[in-house]
Amino acid sequence: MRAVVDGRWLAEHLSEVRVVDVRWYLDGRSGRAAYDGGHIPGAVWLDVDTDLSEPSSTAEGRHPLATPERFAAALSRVGVAAGTPVVAYDDAGGSTAARLWWMLHVLDEPVAVLDGGLDAWPGPLTTEAPALQPVDRRPQPWPTGRFVDASRVAQEPVAQESTAQTPVLFDARTAERYARGGPVDPRPGHIPGAVSAPWAGNLDASGRFRTPSELRARFAAAVDRPAVAYCGSGVTACHDLLAMRLAGLDRTALYPGSWSQWGADGSRPAETG
């Protein structure tokens, strides 16, 4: 299954996939209310806060990675059995749908993001939620090579030391937050050595992903090296990971704690500017 699909493809294959609405808003608006107000027919809704994450904390960050048990229970509840093809969407350029994509992708499950989000859907919306029976789904452990913690990030050399095994660290937040922080950030700045790669830069003027060659040029620093992506809380960083996948780069990992974890510990270094 391709990592992204367009609206026409989804319309033609709607009965063959489980569509998942992953709308979530940093400003506090309700993703569930957005889903209830109109969604793609047959779509189910998963919550970034409670289905794809553990409870937030200062020690672990705003969106700690869900345990395998929590994730399996969420998928079971909405009828996603092992091997079920999934298409995830949001209304923000894939910035939250990519979190679900990454979590399924690293488990080798068939999954794609709807390129262009809800606006790319060519048909009508519905307010009717599908009647689904839970399915049996066993928890699968997260592959250790696809996630790193704060101690691992702290141990790695800075990105400028370009040996073949030195990971490039990409920050998916806006350039403003990378340089000076923002209202939701625990303090200004970024992890030392990190490269600014705002997730929105992965999209063209139409709101769809750039071409593989453009994305490969954007993430050129990772062509011959592994890459780690982080953001404010490990959500939009997955958009960078999806973009790298489209560029043919798959030696990638997520730092789930991201700046909300790293920056909350004043003993950890930070750079600004």
The residues with which 112 forms a beta bridge, in sequence order, are: 87
Q: Do domains 4-120 and 144-262 have the same CATH topology?
A: yes
The pLDDT score that the predictor gives to residue 159 is 46
Fill in the amino acid letter for 140. Answer: Q
Distances in whole angstroms, Cα of residue 136 to Cα of each of 52, 73, 76, 112? 18, 9, 6, 22
Domain 4-120, second-level architecture: 3-Layer(aba) Sandwich (3.40)
CA–CA gap between residue 229 and residue 153 (Å, rounded): 11
43-90 confidence digits (pLDDT tens): 999 999 999 999 999 999 999 999 999 999 999 999 999 999 999 999
Sequence ranges of the domains in the chain: 4-120, 144-262
224-249 confidence digits (pLDDT tens): 999 999 999 999 999 999 999 999 99
Spans in the chain with pLDDT lower than 70: 157-164
What is the number of other CB atoms lying within 10 angstroms of the CB of residue 146? 16
Say which CATH class 144-262 falls into.
Answer: alpha beta
Residues in the chain: 273
**Residues with catalytic function:** 231
Cα dihedral value 170, 180, 198, 161, nearest 10: -20
Given a contact cutoff of 8 angstroms between Cβ atoms, the answer to whether 243 and 209 are in contact is: yes
What is the number of other CB atoms lying within 10 angstroms of the CB of residue 155? 8
Indicate yes or no: pTM above 0.85. Answer: yes
Nearest of 52, 22, 20, 18 to residue 34 by alpha carbon: 22
The pLDDT score that the predictor gives to residue 165 is 75
